[in-house]
Amino acid sequence: KETPCSTGQLKYYILNIKMYNNLNIDSNLTKHTNLPDLPACFQLSVLPWTPCIYLWLASPFYILYLKRNNRGYIMMSILNRIKTVLGLILWIVCWTDLFSSFHEMSQNQSKPPIYFITPLIVGMTMLLATFLIQYERLKGVQSSGVLFIFWTISVLCAIVPFRSKIVVLCFQNGVEDKLRFTTFYIYFGLTLIQLILSCFNEKPPLFSSVVTDPNACPEITAGFLSKMTFWWFTSMAIKGYKSPLENKDLWSLNKQDSSELVVPNLLNEWEVEKSKAQSPEEEKEEEEEEVLLSKRREVRQPSFLRALLRAFGPYFLIGSAFKLLQDLITFVNPQLLRLLIDFTKQPNAPLWWGYSLAFLMFGTSLLQTLILHQHFQYCFVTGMRLRSGIIGAIYRKALAITNEAKRSSTVGEVVNLMSVDAQRFMDLTTFLNMLWSAPLQIILALFFLWQNLGPSVLAGVALMVLLIPFNAFIAMKTRTYQVEQMKHKDDRIKLMNEILNGIKVLKLYAWEVSFKEKILQIRQKELTVLRKTAYLSALSTMAWTSAPFMVALTTFAVYVTVDEENVLDAEKAFVSLSLFNILRFPLNMLPQVISSIVQASVSLKRIQDFLSHDELNPESVDRRNNASEYAVSVVNGTFSWAKQDQATLDNINVMVPQGSLLAVVGHVGCGKTSLVSALLGEMEKQEGQISIRGSVAYVPQQAWIQNATLRDNILFGRPYVEQRYRCVLEACALTPDLEVLPGGDQTEIGEKGINLSGGQRQRVSLARALYSEADVYLLDDPLSAVDAHVAKHIFDKVIGPEGALKGKTRILVTHGISFLPQVDNILVMVDGRVSEMGSYQDLLKQNGAFAEFLRNYSLEDIIEDDEVTVSLVDEEEEEFPEDALSNHTDMVDNEPVVNEARRQFMRYTCIFNASRSASCFGFVTSAFTSTSHDDKFGSRQTMLLFFCDFMIYNVKFKVYWDYAKAVGPFLSLFICFLYGCQSAASIGANFWLSEWTNDAQHNRTQDQVSMRVGVYAALGISQGVLVMFSSFTLALGKIQAARKLHQTLLDNKFHTPQSFFDTTPIGRIINRFSKDIYVIDEVLPSTILMFLGTFFASLSTMIVIICSTPIFALVIGPLALIYFFVQRFYVATSRQLKRLESVSRSPIYSHFSETITGTSVIRAYGRNAAFVLMSDMKVDENQKSYYPGIVSNRWLGVRIELIGNCIVLFAALLAVIGKDKLSPGLVGLSVSYALQVTMSLNWMVRMTSDLESNIVAVERVKEYSETQTEAPWIVTDKQPPPDWPPKGNVEFADYSVRYREGLDLVLRNISLKVEGGEKIGIVGRTGAGKSSMTLCLFRLLEAADGEIVIDEVKISEIGLHDLRSKLTIIPQEPVLFSGTLRMNLDPFEKYSDEEVWKALELSHLKRFVSNQTSKLDLECSEGGENLRYKQEQLVCLARALLRKTRILVLDEATAAVDLETDDLIQSTIRTQFEDCTVFTIAHRLNTIMDYTRVLVLDKGQIAEFDTPTNLMAQKGIFYGMAKDAGLA
């Protein structure tokens, strides 16, 4: 019985009929038989010709490509010889056939022409293949894709005749044409061998990077198959699984991805663009009038986009070609599904149909997988190159832009161009192809759907289109909420940052509660916004999940109700469902792509503007070595900072003879620094000329220090010469400093020189100039930052007439009058002009501007010198203070902020030394010795602190349980239950659909239509509702968890003892509050949502397939095992690659911001190229870990999709085997489910990986929520009476204390009694334990032994707040918080306005505050930046006056406060705190000479304790100190 066969299956045969009309294809022979066969003519023509046509079409392009990309020459190997010989044998075999045909012709046996044509064509093709084998060897191709595909097609096409010849043999007993029979099998065998051989690789070409590079990327040498399946990555996956990956395990970057090729390529295209933009104007200049010209000038701007397209377009287009191929193949599977369902309907169709359909499905899926991942690979690599190119272009530009351009964009903005904007481009390349691919997919899907269901498709499509604005609306709303939330988050982090920076003050004043409330208020706002966002996303999840279902429902319902003839059978229903599933992706992606493009266009504009800025003119300073006696000359120079600004320097004429020392003096702001900048070519030259003979060294006013070792900072790229280096250190007075630094000259200096004092930085900067051995030295006030005696040393040893630089030309900007008599010439600047110039004596005689300058400055100098001698003599010899916790060090410096940072730095170094033995470090040292640049604090040791954060996590089950507890255990179970229900509803709906489609076979359609539609709708809608419910409950759970985790972390941090903050970098604590809390708020919940979604989707697929074909359960085991392994390998490796990538990313940006601040220095020394190279290396270092990261995703994708494709194969095969028992509806159901599974499997692995990376945040927050806490704030049964302490008696009884367990005692057995109202001065050398005494009173340090008793109350028994609120301290470093002045004085609002004003009046601030418009509500900015330092100190005094407790502690500031303020504070304390007990830690002894008693500490013990007069008489330690201070 014949069934009409569909057109698709007959296409080959039709073609055959057209070719040979005489050959009648009998469909009974080919199709409706259990032994099918193709006609002989077809086997002789079409089959052998197919591979030949392919090779002849491909080879011209391939040869052209090889001609252009020559990779070197490969030596002839055994493999190559065998391939060549086999190729020649194949040619001989084919032509044997040809000659035998000629022979038969001569024997008068006529043969059809095909017997001549086919062997001729095939023989020629074999020669071509042999030629290609050799040509590839000469061009260095190790494995050929073109030939691999050719051999594969040849073998596949030869399988049909291979089988049919054997079948014929069995029927005919014997062979007619023995020769052709033999040659065919020889031919088949040889092509098979060629195919196997082409899977192997040749050796790498001679002299290629593979040979030279010890760690080359295996991709270069990988074979064609290995490249298609990313097999070459497996070694990395295994390595990452076995042990944590380190930097040295990463492969080198491929040459064509490296900055040295990518950046110049992009810059060349950009230059072409710029020159194009300028050229049209020049041509037209004569013809057109000015007006038109200026219009043209505005219109034409160089387009950076064109440059990008020309640089990266061609490579990207290869990826686009793959995408096009993949889009077309996507639509093959639904057609095959139709044929499969059709096949199950025919009871007596031969089984081989079904098998071939199943394998075809598998084949197309496999092809689709390979092609898709090739496309992604091309896109991601393009993105990666784009980023390298953009970063490189911006970096090179930043080194050359003018000061005017610099003003228009801050450092932060430019760093953003690099990080954010370059990243946006990188992200865009991955979906850029969707711009054309999405519409194409939509059109194709609609075309096939229309064929299937006719016009009723439009109903479903209309619904899809309606969902787009709905989703867009949700996206817009979400974005506004996100902006709002970011604002709250920034506020919270800013406040948190201040709190952590001032935590010591909060503890001393017992103000924690008030600030905790403030944080929680902001957090509450944040969570409210978060809740709104969560509800919106629940809606959008519902829309996204139920969309495909709603679409199917409307389409099917319309289809069956429009016309009674329309019957919904399995074929129509399931083919349409699989098409709708294809449609869902492009529809969802389009809006995303468009918004992404909009963002990228903004970025493009910003980058283009930056790259179009003016550059400094390198010709503005004439550097030629012309033989004149003047080393530096400026003639009629007029300079400004920007082209349109008025001139900063006017009519400057300077001649500096060779080898002379010129001092430039003048008042602040008269243009001294501008003059130096003009000489460096940093300013816009409006007229005049400058020439400098020879090389230049430059010392800027603000020393610029790199984040590198001290030695590297001094060498600055010059070779190391021991002798010269030592002399430089000696001359710059750096030798004593090296003894103090933990690593000598190998100490890593933190960013901006954070671990050096101001004076040390300036000396390093000077040493760099001295070491460079230049011809001309420009020194911009290098002596102001160092102390007087050091300045003298440097002048004598370096700059002066007898210094190391004698004989060199030196231009010195200075304020130091004492050196002026020793210089050759003095140049006096007044308001940007040269007022006078001459020697010291000449200028004094003229009695002009110079003499006046001397009169002004000499007074100040005398005052400074006095102060300097008091406290500064030992600066160089000072060891690091042992009590590094206390806020002082006697290294005086006029920058308290830097001081603070420096102290923290020392603190870390001390801690490191204390805990070097801790076990954590043993591991870390081995793992991370190779990295040295990623930290904000220098010194390689401190690196370890940072890397402790990176303890390689293998996430424990406990962490998941912690999170579940935070969500609420019942809620967690309920969420999973809801997900289960929703999957059940979805499965139910689809089973119902398959029942419904089976009605068609039994002709009971019409009566039940409404019932079928109704139940289907009910099941589907209930699924949507359940989705929404589960999203809502998840949202509730996530808010609860976020609140709980943040709350516990915050509580713990406020209760943590001070020692924790002293040993933990603030950045690390802030990280917990910002990054980790953000992950818990937003990233983790969405990951969990996706994970649950994909998990249940995969699960329901398995359930459906097992229900329809139970035997499938056997296959699941092995597949699940493979899946599990791939997933473990991937998760382990990808997580570490991510970590390495993020570690290597920040050096790019920190190096960049460092460069921007030091451009003038870099340019002055001519180090541009070296810095560009450094930046490129950092970018390449980062891409080195980013690239395997991309590939790991491709590697995973191919493997997981292969598992998915196997599921498709088995589902189809089992359906074919059991087709008698299965209804077409069930076959459709199980196969269409299987077709979807790859997507969910793939995402499930990604989500598992993300979940593991993100859940770490919970662990990190947990870790810091469980640190040890200090004593309770209030002990209810031990609360002291409200008026305690009534007298203010303080007694130390045999008191000892240490900073932390395991450290030495800081105070030993201190015993003393102080009566109420006494004034006690505490003195002693640095590290004697002065500050420790005050910290003990406040119990910031807990006693190791002994007691402190205040008015009969043992302070160790009462609550901390009860104690601290009754004591007052005026700390050394004033700490202000951002907020109103009122809040800074009285955060709990305990006092009335009158009391506050009274305190302000007594602290001499009343006038200042009442002059402000906002009075007490004056806003203090972060760290009190809008107040002068003196006013901050007075605010602290006002705080003390408000509290007015019986006991006052003064931690006295030296360097910080001028004498006048100091007197104000002292007099206020004498009058206002007359009856209080006062402890003063004194540096200026004159302030305590009238105190009741003085306590002298030495090495933590009481050395002397008596009245000042008695102590002076004893001639002990105190007398010695007083003598040093000039008081005795």
Q: What is the pLDDT of residue 949?
A: 44
pLDDT, tens digit (0-9, with 9 covering 90-100), for 405-454: 877 777 777 888 888 888 888 888 888 899 899 999 989 998 999 988 88
Percent of the chain with pLDDT over 90: 20
pLDDT, tens digit (0-9, with 9 covering 90-100), for 281-298: 554 444 454 554 444 445
Is residue 1236 a contact partner of residue 1104, using CB atoms and an 8 Å limit?
Answer: no
Q: What is the pLDDT of residue 912?
A: 41
Is residue 218 a contact partner of residue 212, using CB atoms and an 8 Å limit?
Answer: no
pLDDT higher than threshold 50 for residue 978: yes
Among the listed ranges 233-237, 1341-1345, 1459-1463, which one has the minimum average pLDDT value?
Answer: 1459-1463
* Closest by Cα among 515, 307, 254 to 1378: 515
Among the listed ranges 108-112, 590-594, 626-630, which one has the minimum average pLDDT value?
Answer: 626-630
Measured distance CA(1243)–CA(1239) in Å, rounded: 6
Is residue 79 a contact partner of residue 200, using CB atoms and an 8 Å limit?
Answer: yes
Query: To 10 degrees, what angle do helices 7-19 and 332-345 make?
Result: 100
pLDDT higher than threshold 50 for residue 900: no
Measured distance CA(530)–CA(1049) in Å, rounded: 19
Average the pLDDT over 1025-1052 and give the result. 90
* Cross-strand pairs, 621: 690
Average the pLDDT over 324-337 and give the result. 92
Average the pLDDT over 926-938 and give the result. 35
Query: To 10 degrees, what angle do helices 351-398 and 422-431 make?
Result: 160
Find the DSSP H helices in 716-781.
Answer: 722-731, 735-740, 758-771
Average the pLDDT over 844-873 and give the result. 58
pLDDT, tens digit (0-9, with 9 covering 90-100), for 1324-1362: 876 677 878 888 888 888 888 888 888 888 888 888 888
* Cross-strand pairs, 1323: 1496
pLDDT, tens digit (0-9, with 9 covering 90-100), for 156-208: 999 988 888 888 888 777 777 888 888 999 999 999 999 999 888 888 887 76
**Strand, helix or coil at 816?**
coil
Find the DSSP H helices in 139-289.
Answer: 145-172, 178-197, 209-212, 224-229, 234-242, 259-284
20: left (phi over 0), alpha (psi -120 to 50) or beta: beta
* Closest by Cα among 160, 145, 130, 176 to 65: 145
Say which residues have a Cβ less than 8 Å from residue 270's Cβ, sequence separation at least 6. Answer: 302, 304, 307, 393, 611
**The pTM is what?**
0.77
pLDDT higher than threshold 80 for residue 1525: no
Among the listed ranges 99-113, 208-222, 555-569, which one has the minimum average pLDDT value?
Answer: 208-222
766: left (phi over 0), alpha (psi -120 to 50) or beta: alpha
How confident is the prediction for the chain on average, in pLDDT? 82
Report whether the peptide linkage leading into residue 1285 is cis, meaning its omega lies within 30 degrees of zero: yes
Sign of the CA dihedral running 264, 266, 267, 268: positive
At residue 433, φ and ψ (nearest 5 deg) are -65, -20
Average the pLDDT over 527-533 and give the result. 91
Among the listed ranges 725-729, 910-914, 1310-1314, which one has the minimum average pLDDT value?
Answer: 910-914
pLDDT, tens digit (0-9, with 9 covering 90-100), for 1369-1402: 888 777 888 888 888 888 888 888 888 888 888 8
Measured distance CA(712)–CA(151) in Å, rounded: 59
Q: What is the pLDDT of residue 461?
A: 82
Among the listed ranges 188-192, 414-418, 976-980, 1452-1456, which one has the minimum average pLDDT value?
Answer: 1452-1456
Question: Where does the pLDDT of residue 1422 fall: very low under 50, low under 70, confident under 90, or very high at 90 and above?
Answer: low
Question: Where does the pLDDT of residue 19 fall: very low under 50, low under 70, confident under 90, or very high at 90 and above?
Answer: very low
Question: Edge-to-edge strands of the sheet including 1447-1451?
Answer: 1367-1370, 1447-1451, 1477-1481, 1319-1323, 1493-1498, 1501-1506
Q: What is the pLDDT of residue 350?
A: 85
Is residue 1495 a contact partner of residue 1505, using CB atoms and an 8 Å limit?
Answer: yes
Q: What is the pLDDT of residue 281?
A: 53
Average the pLDDT over 527-535 and give the result. 91
Q: Which residue, chain included where needed, has tokens 């909009």?
A: 598
Identity of the residue numbered 435: L
* Cross-strand pairs, 830: 833
Measured distance CA(1351)–CA(1034) in Å, rounded: 57
Identity of the residue numbered 1018: A
pLDDT, tens digit (0-9, with 9 covering 90-100), for 1206-1237: 999 998 998 888 888 888 888 888 888 888 88
pLDDT, tens digit (0-9, with 9 covering 90-100), for 693-747: 888 999 998 888 888 888 898 899 889 998 989 999 888 888 888 887 777 788 8
Average the pLDDT over 606-635 and give the result. 85
Question: Where does the pLDDT of residue 873 fall: very low under 50, low under 70, confident under 90, or very high at 90 and above?
Answer: very low
Cα-based angle 261, 262, 266 (whole degrees, multiple of 5): 120
Question: Where does the pLDDT of residue 887 fall: very low under 50, low under 70, confident under 90, or very high at 90 and above?
Answer: very low
219, 378, 431, 1182, 1250 from 1187: Cα distances, Å: 11, 12, 18, 9, 18
Measured distance CA(379)–CA(1193) in Å, rounded: 13
Question: Where does the pLDDT of residue 1437 fall: very low under 50, low under 70, confident under 90, or very high at 90 and above?
Answer: confident
Q: What is the pLDDT of residue 936?
A: 37
Q: Which residue, chain included where needed, has tokens 């003979």?
A: 693
Average the pLDDT over 242-261 and give the result. 89
Measured distance CA(1518)–CA(1496) in Å, rounded: 7
**Strand, helix or coil at 565?**
coil
Measured distance CA(594)–CA(612) in Å, rounded: 27
Question: Where does the pLDDT of residue 878 fall: very low under 50, low under 70, confident under 90, or very high at 90 and above?
Answer: very low
Q: What is the pLDDT of residue 889?
A: 32
Q: What is the pLDDT of residue 930?
A: 34
Q: What is the pLDDT of residue 952?
A: 42
Average the pLDDT over 632-648 and give the result. 86
Measured distance CA(1048)–CA(1069) in Å, rounded: 14
Give the count of alpha carbons within 13 A of 436, CB side only. 6
Q: What is the pLDDT of residue 323?
A: 94
In angstroms, the first-to-last Cα distance of the chain is 129
Question: Where does the pLDDT of residue 586 fall: very low under 50, low under 70, confident under 90, or very high at 90 and above?
Answer: confident
Cα-based angle 798, 803, 806 (whole degrees, multiple of 5): 110
Average the pLDDT over 382-396 and give the result. 93
